[in-house]
């Protein structure tokens, strides 16, 4: 099979990813980025308080008869991905609490070795309209090598540090949901319900590949992987079975042009909004906020412990001195 080139902007392999990967030679792929069905198990429409319908994932491709059926599907595509990865290749897979734990266990069973789990923190998450749970404000990505014994893999540490104000890139990434002009639409509506933001893909691809390397996406969807891979000069191999998604992704890739790095800028850690509790704790821990004496709050925990220990030591010395004094008194009386 010829290695695809990023110049073939409209080439999407159409069909089942497991079958298509089975027809590829072993080991041509440097990185896999997979955004598989989440198996959300939605039974009814989601409604807002005003009774309007939430545009959630209700497509047939996200429906499985059982957890066992989903596990079989997951095992099949992960096995196929591992087969086409180079010996030093890596896998990135994203999911929610509905599926990521099952995916993680299966990929470990197949021999992948997890390097990190990365939390995508959404700065603009969809609220929990019923108020029955916490707002679901994150998704989890697993970054894994093909094999536990793998001696080398790509990690562009300095590039990640440069994106983060020269601080080490952490494993929690604050990036907003895909909205506005970036959102691919068809007929005025979202073309794909789970389109990922370009900044998320850009960071993962830039972290784990070099220019000219090949990124495979077995669930191409709206085409974010291809649109992003072109910007830093990576090749991509997209697979998608849904006809409408293939059309939307093809149009998007044909329109994609390399962008300035500023167009894909992501927030640095120091620019993230602080939660009130963090700000309160930091203020209370600052030297200016510490009481000069223990009068207002008694004493600090450390000060209290020190005072207690000092008191105990003084009492011990006093008792010892009293015992010595009594012994001397007894000896003097005896001598008399």
Q: Per residue in 235-268, pLDDT tens?
A: 999 998 876 666 666 666 666 665 554 444 445 5
Are residues 221 and 248 in contact, defined by beta-carbon separation less than 8 angstroms? no
Strand order in the sheet with 214-217: 13-14, 235-240, 214-217, 29-34, 85-95, 138-145, 113-121, 172-174
Q: Per residue in 27-56, pLDDT tens?
A: 999 999 999 998 865 555 554 455 555 454
- Distance between CA atoms of residues 256 and 9, nearest Å: 9
Residue 189 neighbours by CB under 8 Å, 6+ apart: 55
Find the Cα–Cα–Cα–Cα dihedral 265, 267, 271, 272, rounded to 10°: 160
Instruction: Taking residues 271-282, report their average pLDDT.
Output: 55
Check whether 324 has a pLDDT greater than 90: no
Q: What is the pLDDT of residue 287?
A: 54
Check whether 102 has a pLDDT greater than 80: yes
Are residues 133 and 140 in contact, defined by beta-carbon separation less than 8 angstroms? no
Among 76-85, 118-127, 283-292, name the one with the lowest average pLDDT: 283-292
Q: Quick one: what percent of the chain has pLDDT higher than 70? A: 60
Q: What is the pLDDT of residue 248?
A: 65
Residue 9 neighbours by CB under 8 Å, 6+ apart: 226, 230, 253, 254, 256
Residue 68 neighbours by CB under 8 Å, 6+ apart: none
User: Which range scores top for mean pLDDT: 39-48, 133-142, 184-193?
Assistant: 133-142
Residue-level length of the chain: 336
Q: What is the pLDDT of residue 288?
A: 54
Q: Are strands 138-145 and 113-121 parallel, antiparallel or unpaired?
A: antiparallel
- Distance between CA atoms of residues 10 and 254, nearest Å: 6
Residue 218 neighbours by CB under 8 Å, 6+ apart: 17, 21, 32, 34, 36, 77, 80, 81, 239
Crossing angle between the packed helical segments 100-109 and 67-84, to the nearest 10 degrees: 50
Q: What is the pLDDT of residue 296?
A: 35
As a whole number, the mean pLDDT across the chain is 77
């Amino acid at each position: 099979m010829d290695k695809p080139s990023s110049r073939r902007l409209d080439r999407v392999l159409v069909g089942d990813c497991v079958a298509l990967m089975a027809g590829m030679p072993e080991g041509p792929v440097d990185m896999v980025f997979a955004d598989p069905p989440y198996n959300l198990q939605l039974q009814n429409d989601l409604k807002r308080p005003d009774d309007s319908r939430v545009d959630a994932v209700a497509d047939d491709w996200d429906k499985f008869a059982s957890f066992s059926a989903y596990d079989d599907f997951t095992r099949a595509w992960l096995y196929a991905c591992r087969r086409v990865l180079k010996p030093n290749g890596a896998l990135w897979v994203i999911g929610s609490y509905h599926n990521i734990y099952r995916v993680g266990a299966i990929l470990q069973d197949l021999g992948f070795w997890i390097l990190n789990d990365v939390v995508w923190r959404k700065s603009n998450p969809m609220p929990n309209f019923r108020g029955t749970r916490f707002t679901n404000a994150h998704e989890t990505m697993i970054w894994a090598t093909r094999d536990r014994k793998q001696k080398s893999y790509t990690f562009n540490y300095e590039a990640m540090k440069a994106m983060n104000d020269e601080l080490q890139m952490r494993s929690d990434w604050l990036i907003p949901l895909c909205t506005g002009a970036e959102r691919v639409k068809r007929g005025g509506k979202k073309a794909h319900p789970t389109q990922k933001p370009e900044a998320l893909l850009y960071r993962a691809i830039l972290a784990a590949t070099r220019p000219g390397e090949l990124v495979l996406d077995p669930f191409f969807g709206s085409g974010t992987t291809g649109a992003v891979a072109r910007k830093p000069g990576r090749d991509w191999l997209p697979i998608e079975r849904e006809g409408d998604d293939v059309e939307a992704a093809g149009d998007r890739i044909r329109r994609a042009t390399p962008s300035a790095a500023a167009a894909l800028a992501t927030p640095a850690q120091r620019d993230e909004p602080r939660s009130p509790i963090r700000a309160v704790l930091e203020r209370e821990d600052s030297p200016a906020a510490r009481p000069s004496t223990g009068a207002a709050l008694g004493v600090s925990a450390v000060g209290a412990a020190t005072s207690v220990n000092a008191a105990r030591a003084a009492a011990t010395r006093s008792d010892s001195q009293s015992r010595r004094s009594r012994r001397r008194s007894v000896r003097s009386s005896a001598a008399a």
